[in-house]
Amino acid sequence: MIRISPKRTSRKPENTIALINVVFLMLIFFLVAGTLAPSPDRNVDFITLAAKDPAAPPDMLYIRADGTLTWRGNQLPMTEHVQRWQNLQSTETDPVPLRIAADRSLPALDLLDTIDELRKAGVDQLTLIAERLPQ
């Protein structure tokens, strides 16, 4: 009697190339997205608080120690800052506060004067950004 063994069907190996491509594209996306945020103004030494804040918004108005206003490294008059903020308000569905980062060497009265001028110019939502000291 002749024994004929049944024909073995070989399983096709799973194709992991598509999964590798997706993971690689995600890696590239996060590398690029992480570098799009503008760097903080190097001439501003942040006000410090007691605890650690996980993230500071990159798109904010900086007030240097001499009282000059900068945004994304460019010195602009206050009217342009207010106009930029109002344009942003008109495009967003939720209200967006104007974020301010002041130099710690800026006198508090000068900071309050600047905030008062911004409020008089029409800015009704302000957020003061400060650096928190590690505990």
**pLDDT tens-digit readout, 27-52:** 988 887 776 666 777 787 776 655 44
Domain ranges of the chain: 48-132
Task: State pLDDT tens for residues 79-109.
Answer: 888 888 888 777 777 777 888 888 888 888 9
Please, what CATH class does the domain formed by 48-132 belong to?
alpha beta
Q: Is the pTM of this model over 0.75?
A: no
**What confidence tens digit (pLDDT) does each residue in 114-130 have?**
889 888 888 888 888 87
> Whose CA is closest to 63, among 7, 119, 125, 129?
129
Distance CA 88, CA 73 (A): 19
12: pLDDT strictly greater than 80? no
What is the per-residue pLDDT for 25?
92
Residue 53 has pLDDT above 50, yes or no: no
Return the pLDDT at 49: 57
Kindly give the interhelix angle for 108-120 and 78-91, rounded to the nearest 10 degrees: 50
| Tokens, residue 13 | 């190996």
